[in-house]
A and B are shown apart, each in its own frame.
Chain A
Amino acid sequence: MAQIELDGIERVFRLGDSEVHALRGLSVSIDAGEYVAVMGPSGSGKSTLLNLLGLLDRPNAGHYRLEGRDVTTLSADEQAEVRRARIGFVFQSFHLVPRLSAAENIGLPLVLAGLPPDERARRVAQALKDFGLEARASHRPDELSGGQRQRVAIARATIMRPAMLLADEPTGNLDRATGQEVTALLEGLNAAGTTLIVVTHDPVMGARARRQLLMEDGELRHDVRAEPAPTAPAVPVAPR
């Protein structure tokens, strides 16, 4: 059984009289522990797909089975619970709460889950250590560099030990070196068993993934599985 099974997903946005088909007839299945890059031109529906996978959005038609359970029919609060326990998000613009320190931002999912404070403190301390943020624990986001902010965001996304990590252009706001650092971090998490789905415009980063989903105009055009060389930037993808 695949971890993620999408079946005939449709997502239509209505803007006045006109309709935008952000996703049409999309079917795909992704196994636990996979490393998937979602690529394609702007407006092709990559973010819409990721939001659906993250249960932030509902399809107009089709079914989404997560770990064997049909999650499209769940109530909003049930979906929130699934998000909290199973899904981690990383955003292009970090989305840190500006008035909270790095440690508090990382601990936010634990607070929402209602974990006792000592357990929280222990896990946040461990995460700060794992992501090399110990010296920045009490800094607020505006006192951190972009790379540090994204590391805080990744620490936050993984603190609940989710089954899958969804990242929407995680390196889009970072310079190349810092971007590679963040990519390595995400790949490390994937190597430890977490499913990793990354939306990216960067062919180099996309090529590092073992599987590429190529979107165009709301449809899945290509589903490419490759065995990339572990270090070197691998074969350029995007065959037409």
Chain B
Amino acid sequence: MTPADTLRFASRAALGYPLRTALMVLAMAIGVAAVVVLTALGDGARRYVVEQFASLGANLIIVLPGRTETGGVNPGSFITSTPRDLTVADAEALLRAPLVTRIAPLTLGNSEVSVGGKLREVLVLGTGADYAGIRNYRVAQGQFLPRDDPGRAASVAVIGDTLRRELFGNETAIGRVLRVGDTRLRVIGIMAPSGQGLGMNTDELVIVPVATAQAMFNTNTLFRIMVEVRSREALGPAQRELEKILRARRDGELDVTLITQDAVLGTFDRILGALTLGVAGIAAISLAVAGILVMNVMLVAVTQRTGEIGLLKALGATGRNIRLAFLTEAALLSLAGAIVGFALGHVGAWGIRLAYPVLPAWPPNWAVIAALATALGTGVLFGVMPARRAARLDPVQALMKR
């Protein structure tokens, strides 16, 4: 029997029992569709988080004071025990690195803000004019901090949207004066509401020039420095440039830590990737169930068609002919189920994208391929036993059953 004839015979047999075939295909399809939809969901979540992180600025390097040892002991470890502080001068120096586009020094402190009679605890952030640009923050009214000499302690403030509502209500806030601790500041801008994204929320911040904040908290150190580099690819070289500059400024000792968003992103990427894989595994169980169903249906088919098998043997079919015919039938049923399930799964993923537009719910290629392969694999694997049973039937007994 040629392969083409086996295929034709098996497909005719499958079509000869439409209801049975339809149910089988449906069971397999549900399994495949489950894998496609669930991995689309998992991978969508992963992409959503990664994109959110990327929107925080994927090409950022954050400089922190102090060394977090990860690379073992180096000679520098023995020289000083207390790390030197980061200063505004350090931040300025970093701008000299060719791959750096913008920087923002950061100082943080808690204080009280008062307008008229109203008093409130706030977080004060001292930074530079480029901070809003680096973080993609939008200013709703007025302007962000002026591009000043960073040493100048201008008495201006940009406030968050929630703070504006609480302090000024419906009155205009721009141009008004508020008191932060002992310092009087003029409001020059209002930040746009932050919305639902990840990352720092500006809604309740008072943002002031870095020198103003340092004067307010009586310090000359920085909490950290944010450095924006030309591109994501430039992160590595830029980090080396920054390290060189900082080392030179600190007597050859690098007592600062540089963090890239990339590292954080990579971790999240891996965690959510593993989650998707787990979900796919759970969905694959339904495929195994479908496989057992294939076996059942094929066993019933063997019983149903015992007479036919006997006849084929009488006509000279070998055990191999019959085994192949039934195996092919099982494979065809699985294949049809896999294709229908693939389509159903994509419709499902499309539905999810329609219902939750923020979620990029596309099934990953590896999951689709794995689902289709598993469907075919289980179908054939569970088809082997019925096919062997058919091939082993005694021809006389089979012929008498009719």
**A and B: real partners?**
yes
Residues of A within 8 A of B (CB): 51, 54, 56-57, 76-77, 80-81, 83-85, 87, 89, 91, 93, 95, 97-100, 108-109, 111-114, 156, 160
Asked if A56 meets B307 with Cβ closer than 8 Å, knowing A84-B315, A93-B402, the reply is no
Is the CB of B311 closer than 8 A to any CB of chain A? yes
Structural contact, A81 and B316, CB atoms closer than 8 A:
yes
Count CB-based A-B contacts (< 8 Å).
67
For A54, give its contact among B1, B13, B314, B321 (CB under 8 Å): B314
**In chain A, what residue has the closest Cβ to B2?**
A114
Kindly provide the distance from the CB of B389 to the nearest chain A CB, expressed in whole angstroms.
15
A81-B316, A83-B315, A95-B402 known, 4 other contacts, Cβ within 8 Å: A89-B314, A95-B314, A114-B2, A114-B5
Kindly provide the distance from the CB of A23 to the nearest chain B CB, expressed in whole angstroms.
13
Structural contact, A84 and B316, CB atoms closer than 8 A:
yes
For A100, give its contact among B2, B12, B321, B402 (CB under 8 Å): B12
- Residues of chain A contacted by B315 (CB below 8 angstroms): 83-84, 89, 108-109, 112, 156
**A–B Cβ pairs within 8 angstroms, 28 of them:** A54-B314, A56-B313, A56-B314, A56-B399, A57-B395, A57-B396, A77-B318, A77-B320, A83-B316, A84-B316, A89-B314, A95-B310, A95-B311, A95-B399, A95-B402, A97-B308, A97-B311, A99-B12, A99-B15, A100-B12, A108-B312, A108-B315, A109-B315, A109-B316, A112-B1, A112-B317, A113-B316, A114-B2
Kindly provide the distance from the CB of A197 to the nearest chain B CB, expressed in whole angstroms.
15
Compute how far the CA of A83 lies from the CA of B313 in the bound complex, rounded to whole angstroms.
9
Compute how far the CA of A198 lies from the CA of B293 in the bound complex, rounded to whole angstroms.
44
- Residues of chain A contacted by B402 (CB below 8 angstroms): 93, 95
Kindly provide the distance from the CB of B8 to the nearest chain A CB, expressed in whole angstroms.
8
Structural contact, B313 and A80, CB atoms closer than 8 A:
yes
Is the CB of B319 closer than 8 A to any CB of chain A? yes
Compute how far the CA of A57 lies from the CA of B1 in the bound complex, rounded to whole angstroms.
23
- Residues of chain B contacted by A98 (CB below 8 angstroms): 16
- Residues of chain A contacted by B321 (CB below 8 angstroms): 112
- Residues of chain B contacted by A76 (CB below 8 angstroms): 318-319
Compute how far the CA of A18 lies from the CA of B185 in the bound complex, rounded to whole angstroms.
112
Kindly provide the distance from the CB of A45 to the nearest chain B CB, expressed in whole angstroms.
13
Structural contact, B319 and A112, CB atoms closer than 8 A:
no
Interface centre among B1, B315, B402 (most CB of A within 10 A): B315
Asked if A111 meets B396 with Cβ closer than 8 Å, knowing A54-B314, A80-B317, A156-B315, the reply is no
- Residues of chain A contacted by B396 (CB below 8 angstroms): 51, 56-57
Kindly provide the distance from the CB of A100 to the nearest chain B CB, expressed in whole angstroms.
7
Kindly provide the distance from the CB of B399 to the nearest chain A CB, expressed in whole angstroms.
7
Compute how far the CA of A98 lies from the CA of B312 in the bound complex, rounded to whole angstroms.
13
Compute how far the CA of A54 lies from the CA of B319 in the bound complex, rounded to whole angstroms.
17
Structural contact, A112 and B311, CB atoms closer than 8 A:
no
Compute how far the CA of A84 lies from the CA of B321 in the bound complex, rounded to whole angstroms.
13
Kindly provide the distance from the CB of B64 to the nearest chain A CB, expressed in whole angstroms.
76
Structural contact, B318 and A80, CB atoms closer than 8 A:
yes
Compute how far the CA of A81 lies from the CA of B320 in the bound complex, rounded to whole angstroms.
12
- Residues of chain A contacted by B5 (CB below 8 angstroms): 111, 114
Structural contact, A81 and B318, CB atoms closer than 8 A:
yes
For A111, give its contact among B9, B13, B319 (CB under 8 Å): B9
Kindly provide the distance from the CB of B279 to the nearest chain A CB, expressed in whole angstroms.
42
Compute how far the CA of A89 lies from the CA of B1 in the bound complex, rounded to whole angstroms.
20
